[in-house]
Amino acid sequence: MFYSNSQALYRLYNPNAKVGSHFYTTSLAEKNSLVKSGWKYEGVAEESPIKTVYNQAVYRVYNPNAGDHFYTENKAEVAHLVSLGWRAEGIAFYSSTSNETPIYRLYNPNATVGTHFYTQSSVERDSLVRAGWHYEGTAWYGG
């Protein structure tokens, strides 16, 4: 169920990447374009708030060498990755300030592509940790 002040954050998976890669977007056109390109649509990841003066921006950064995306609220992380050759793609969506639904960030130390994964599911988070992923805390909050 979506509130009037939120929008769907779509989650897609690239089965053609060496170890798989996930992509998150609020753009229906971007989602549909990726599906036509062979990405698998996995559903709505969360309710993302619509921009207000109170919501925190979540930035998307792209690694052109690996074809990987990274999402963060932290401008210092964006600046660091840009200094390493990543491309800042601007604001991807917004985080809720209500801290209602934590979105967890995990890191796969054994991957070169798709190294980070984001989920609101504690079951999915815990399963990945058991499989060797590193839990990095809450990335942002969904609505």
**Alpha carbon distance 61, 80 (integer Å):** 11
| 19 pLDDT more than 70 | no
In a domain, 44, yes or no: yes
Do the domain assignments include residue 122? yes
Residue 54 lies in a domain: yes
Q: What is the pLDDT of residues 87-104, one digit of tens each?
A: 999 999 998 877 788 999
Query: Measured between alpha carbons, how far is 85 from 103 in angstroms, rounded to an integer?
Result: 26
Give the count of domains, the chain.
Answer: 1
Q: Fill in the DSSP letter of residue 25.
A: E
Domain assignment present for 75:
yes
What is d(CA 25, CA 30) in angstroms, rounded to the nearest whole number?
Answer: 7
* Dihedral sign of CA atoms 128, 119, 31, 114 in order: negative
Residue 70: which pLDDT band, with cuts at 50, 70 and 90? very high
Q: Rounded to a whole number, what is the largest CA-CA distance in the chain?
A: 40
Kindly report, residue by residue over 109-124, the tens digit of the pLDDT: 988 777 899 999 999 9
Q: Where are the beta strands (DSSP E) in the chain?
A: 6-14, 21-25, 40-49, 56-63, 68-72, 87-95, 101-107, 116-119, 134-142
16 lies in some domain: yes
Tell me whether residue 59 is in a domain: yes
pLDDT band at residue 3 under the 50/70/90 scheme = low
Residue 1 lies in a domain: no
Q: What is the pTM of this model?
A: 0.86
Would 94 be classed as within a structural domain? Answer: yes
Enclosing domain of residue 85: 6-142
